[in-house]
Amino acid sequence: MAYELYYWPGIQGRGEFVRLALEEAGADYIDVARSSIDENSGVGALMAVLEGEDIVHPPFAPPFLKDGDVLIGQTAAILLYLGDRHALAPRDATKRLWVHQIQLTIADLVAEAHDTHHPLGADFYYEEQKPEALRRAKHFREERIPKFLRWFEHILTHNPDGDKYLAGKRVSYADLSLFQAVEGLLYAFPRRTKAILAEVPRVAALHQRIAQRPRIRAYLDSGRRLEFNEQGIFRHYPELDGYRRGL
């Protein structure tokens, strides 16, 4: 039975972290909103689950994944589930928990990246909170991007099984997610991210290594991978990357 992945059409968003794991696993899945006859019916199917009053464990928001009678929300929880079933997490319980911890830290990074362009909340347009966004983005690119990426570099440096992957000798869902996070940062903050990547060579190498994995490369080249855009989590506004004097 195919997995059913529910996420908004038209953006990569948090759903992309799940897609990369499914693609790497070679899993059979239906991207419900994208596979529907039209966008409205796809969103309707998604909303039917969100608003279903008979669902005992309802997801709060997309992405969520259905596996038969199992319904899982939250990106990190979905990946924890898939990791166990598709050898994308270590067998050792302690290492499996460590990968989950890394994933939750990546989730923090993604949330902070989003909040650079919407620091006052998603109910306001970017143009309505631009002064606050400029201030938030300056702190994010100068302090937070380096802190996060240097932490990942430290993990790779001290992995007792080598510096190719974050945990153990094999790729995990956390490696795939770090690839996606770096991709997003390169889109949203290209100038700053390129400079930091030069200081974290193991992170940069992991990013390139994941991009060349056969199934991931096939997905990236397939046309099914959407482009980043200014509706998603990672958005490129040049002024937020410091392209104005005095920022």
Q: Which two tokens stand for residue 78?
A: 């979905």
State which of 42, 66, 85 marks the end of a domain.
85
3-state secondary structure of 137: helix
* The predicted structure's pLDDT at residue 79: 98
Shared-domain flag, residues 99 and 168: yes
Shared-domain flag, residues 35 and 152: no
What CA–CA distances, in Å, run from 28 to 25, 63, 152, 207?
9, 17, 31, 25
Burial (Cβ within 10 Å: 0-12, 13-18, ≥19) of residue 221: exposed
* The predicted structure's pLDDT at residue 93: 95
Q: Count the neighbouring beta carbons within 10 Å of the beta carbon of residue 239.
A: 12
At position 4, the amino acid (one-letter code) is E
| Segments forming the whole domain that contains residue 77 | 3-85
Here the CATH number for the domain that contains residue 51 is 3.40.30.10
At position 179, the amino acid (one-letter code) is F
Residue 33 within a domain: yes
Mean pLDDT per block of 10 residues along the chain (247 residues) reads: 94 97 98 76 87 90 96 98 97 96 98 97 93 96 98 97 94 98 98 97 98 98 95 96 65
Residue 135 within a domain: yes
* The predicted structure's pLDDT at residue 1: 84
Yes or no: say if 151 and 166 are a contact pair by the CB < 8 Å rule: no
Q: Count the neighbouring beta carbons within 10 Å of the beta carbon of residue 56.
A: 6
The conformation of residue 239, written as its DSSP 8-state character, comes to: G
